[in-house]
């Protein structure tokens, strides 16, 4: 294979300058004749201009020779001045003499005015950065698909204006709606962390919004955060207020009467020991934080607080759950397997705003893992929990029935507990429970499906999930959405009246956000948040309009175009799904074959 000429090698090192100079040459010549070699890129060949005034062949050749000479000398001069002296990929090493070999002992002194000295390489300069050249003026455009949402981690409804609510996504930031979900606006896209763990609106001043970053699930694709943010203008602007090394945050609680006081359940880094772990409290809007609950020092590096709840009638009463966990690329440990056999997790209660704590144990299992908590508004003495426990042995994650764990209910403020159900679906991924604020018998357990109970958690059904995407992570119930009680029927006049259930539910799952105004009997998919979570994308460049394909978390694989020929922009109908459940890698056969040739 013939090696490149030195001047070609030099020009290859300064490709941007070469193209800028050759463009005027192509315009001057206005000919079908293309320069040979790799001097003129193919994209710079121009068609003939019709109806031009032709000169004599000799004149035309003279013009070409002069133009070529001028361009060649100019390019070569730029190459010498701009190309780095270091060897470039694909170029020949420099043969310029080094200071040690330029004038060996006994040799005559080089005449600096000689032609060879004039061609000596210029001092080494720093070439422009690739990112500066290629990406400085690039602007991103959304090409879809927007047929699905992404994994939702939390939802918060404005208690004073229920048309306003926030949606936190595991990897897609925070979105806000002011019109019941008809439209959504990104409220967090200028912040460095886009994984949301928890959202809370201050009940006494709904312009104040708190966000904890880092999703609290334990799966290997979980994103981490960088602490807590606070907004004083309804999410328009944000201030980072600390707990930078919390990694993941499971819950944020705001004092019902004092918006400057908040509690944060910090789980810590899933992949490393240490950091901010436990339940933290601030009384000055996040200027300072105090750790009010943590594991013993011997295990505090792996144990954090996964959930917490305030008693609605007394904010000094707090329930919190401690949970140990640790993941590596090849394993996942939780509970005692993450704490060297020490059982330090469980449910704890404070009656003085976090000053002191008592572990709740009467009726609860040992060897606990992940725990979800809820306190009912209609009767603050009723506390419920979904508890993971390895007591009695472990289960395969596909088995939603626990040997000793499950759903537990206390009707005396956490003093005693009773197991009402053995259901505990895939705890490391779910472990969320809610109680209807208008009816303490209506309980929701979040798992692969949205499970509902009308007997205080004894039995559950999943008929409310018929129209929902699977995998439930968040549920917000609008307080005050329950209708007034209906008068009893004549045949039921001697029976206690059935309390109504709240009608407005907003659920978040792996497919986005769904809303019901009928207590879950019908759902609308609020499919207006472009936050699909791509694992991988790939390109098929065998077509002029290249195609993009990728796999999404729990939303199939999709393929779509980079552009469309119509006046419309790229739409959902231009994208095609294939395969189901989780997508991942996509290989374009035509592109793969072409690259192997």
490 in helix, strand or coil? helix
State how far the Cα of 473 lies from the Cα of 148, in Å rounded to an integer: 16
Angle CA 48–52–57, to nearest 5: 85
State how far the Cα of 197 lies from the Cα of 326, in Å rounded to an integer: 18
Please give the residue range of the domain that contains residue 22.
6-132
Using the 3D structure, point to which of 72, 102, 132 is the last residue of a domain.
Answer: 132
Q: Which residues contact 138 (CB under 8 A, 6 or more apart)?
A: none
pLDDT value at residue 586? 81
Using the 3D structure, point to which of 74, 108, 132 is the last residue of a domain.
Answer: 132
Q: Which residues contact 171 (CB under 8 A, 6 or more apart)?
A: 150, 151, 194, 195, 215, 223, 531, 533
pLDDT value at residue 594? 62
pLDDT value at residue 3? 45
CB 373 within 8 A of CB 435: no
State how far the Cα of 319 lies from the Cα of 311, in Å rounded to an integer: 8
Q: Is residue 312 one of the residues assigned to a domain? A: no
Q: Is residue 52 one of the residues assigned to a domain? A: yes
pLDDT value at residue 392? 86
Q: Is residue 85 one of the residues assigned to a domain? A: yes
Residue whose pair of structure tokens reads 């003495």 in the numeric block: 381
At residue 135, φ and ψ (nearest 5 deg) are -110, -5
Number of folded domains that form the chain: 2
State how far the Cα of 40 lies from the Cα of 21, in Å rounded to an integer: 10
pLDDT value at residue 127? 63
Walk across the sheet containing 576-578 and list its strands: 534-540, 547-552, 557-561, 576-578
110: left (phi over 0), alpha (psi -120 to 50) or beta: beta
pLDDT value at residue 542? 78
Using the 3D structure, point to which of 90, 109, 132 is the last residue of a domain.
Answer: 132
Q: 509 has which bridge partners?
A: 472, 512
State how far the Cα of 402 lies from the Cα of 417, in Å rounded to an integer: 17
Mean pLDDT by 10 residues, the chain (597 residues): 42 39 39 37 37 47 60 52 41 40 44 48 64 72 81 97 98 96 96 97 98 95 95 98 98 98 98 97 98 96 98 97 95 94 97 98 98 96 98 83 97 98 96 97 98 98 93 97 85 81 97 96 92 87 83 86 83 84 76 63
403: which 2 tokens? 């040997």
The pTM (predicted TM-score) of the whole model is 0.76
**Alpha-carbon distances of 3 from 8, 35, 84, 305, 428, rounded to whole Å:** 10, 19, 20, 66, 61
CB 533 within 8 A of CB 553: yes
Tell me, what DSSP letter sits at residue 7? H
Residue whose pair of structure tokens reads 């119930």 in the numeric block: 477
State how far the Cα of 340 lies from the Cα of 350, in Å rounded to an integer: 27
Q: Is residue 374 one of the residues assigned to a domain? A: no
- Among 418, 485, 426, 484, which residue's Cα sits nearest to residue 455? 418
Q: Is residue 34 one of the residues assigned to a domain? A: yes
Q: Which residues contact 363 (CB under 8 A, 6 or more apart)?
A: 408, 410, 416, 417, 418, 419
Q: 347 has which bridge partners?
A: 321, 360
Q: Is residue 540 one of the residues assigned to a domain? A: yes
CB 296 within 8 A of CB 270: no
Q: Is residue 359 one of the residues assigned to a domain? A: no
H or E segment at 16?
Answer: helix 15-29
Q: Is residue 78 one of the residues assigned to a domain? A: yes
């Amino acid at each position: 294979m013939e090696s490149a000429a030195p001047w070609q090698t030099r020009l290859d090192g300064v490709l941007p300058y070469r193209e800028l100079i050759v463009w005027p040459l192509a315009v001057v010549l206005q000919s079908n004749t293309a320069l040979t070699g790799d001097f003129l890129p193919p994209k710079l060949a121009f068609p003939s201009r019709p109806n031009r005034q032709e000169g004599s062949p000799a004149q035309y050749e003279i013009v070409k020779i002069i133009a070529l000479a001028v361009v060649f000398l100019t390019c070569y001069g730029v190459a010498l001045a701009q190309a780095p002296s270091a060897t470039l990929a694909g170029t020949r090493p420099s043969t310029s003499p080094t200071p040690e070999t330029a004038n060996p002992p006994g040799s005559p002194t080089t005449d600096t005015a000689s032609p060879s000295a004039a061609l000596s390489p210029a001092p080494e300069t720093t070439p422009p950065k690739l990112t500066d050249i290629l990406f400085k003026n690039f602007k991103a455009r959304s090409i879809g698909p927007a047929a699905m949402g992404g994994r939702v981690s939390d939802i918060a409804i404005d208690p004073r204006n229920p048309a306003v609510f926030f949606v936190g996504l595991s990897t897609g930031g925070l979105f806000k709606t002011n019109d019941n979900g008809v439209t959504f606006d990104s409220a967090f896209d200028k912040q460095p962390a886009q994984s949301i763990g928890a959202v809370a609106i201050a009940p006494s001043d709904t312009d104040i919004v708190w966000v904890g970053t880092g999703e609290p699930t334990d799966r290997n694709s979980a994103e981490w955060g960088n602490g807590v943010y606070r907004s004083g203008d309804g999410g328009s602007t944000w201030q980072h207020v600390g707990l930078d090394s919390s990694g993941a945050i499971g819950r944020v609680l705001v004092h019902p009467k004092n918006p400057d006081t908040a509690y944060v359940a910090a789980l810590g880094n899933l992949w490393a020991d240490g950091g901010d772990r436990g339940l933290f409290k601030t009384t000055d809007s996040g200027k300072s934080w105090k750790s009010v609950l943590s594991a013993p020092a011997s295990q505090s590096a792996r144990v954090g607080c996964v959930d917490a709840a305030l008693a609605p009638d007394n904010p000094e009463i707090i329930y919190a759950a401690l949970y140990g966990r640790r993941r590596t690329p090849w394993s996942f440990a939780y509970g005692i397997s993450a704490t060297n056999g020490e059982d330090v997790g469980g449910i704890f209660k404070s009656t003085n705003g976090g000053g002191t704590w008592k572990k709740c144990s009467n009726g609860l299992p040992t060897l606990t893992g992940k725990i979800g908590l809820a306190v009912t508004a209609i009767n603050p003495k009723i506390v419920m929990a979904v508890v993971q426990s390895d007591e009695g042995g472990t289960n395969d994650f596909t088995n939603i029935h626990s040997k000793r764990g499950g759903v537990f209910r206390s009707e005396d403020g956490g003093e005693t507990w009773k197991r009402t159900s053995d259901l505990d679906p895939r705890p490391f991924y779910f472990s969320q429970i809610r109680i209807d604020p208008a009816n303490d018998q209506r309980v929701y357990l979040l798992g692969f499906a949205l499970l509902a109970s009308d007997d205080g958690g004894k039995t559950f059904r999943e008929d409310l999930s018929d129209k929902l995407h699977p995998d439930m992570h968040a549920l917000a119930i609008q307080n005050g959405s329950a209708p007034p009680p209906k008068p009893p029927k004549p045949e039921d006049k001697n029976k206690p009246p059935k309390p109504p259930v709240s009608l407005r539910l907003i659920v978040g799952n792996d497919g986005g956000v769904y809303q019901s105004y009928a207590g879950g009997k019908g759902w609308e998919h609020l499919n207006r948040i472009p936050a699909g979570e791509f694992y991988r994308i790939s390109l098929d460049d065998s077509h002029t309009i290249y195609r993009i394909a990728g796999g999404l978390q729990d939303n199939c694989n999709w393929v779509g175009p980079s552009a469309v020929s119509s006046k419309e922009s790229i739409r959902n109908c231009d994208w095609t799904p294939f395969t189901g459940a989780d997508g991942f890698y996509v290989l374009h056969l035509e592109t793969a074959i072409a690259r192997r040739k």
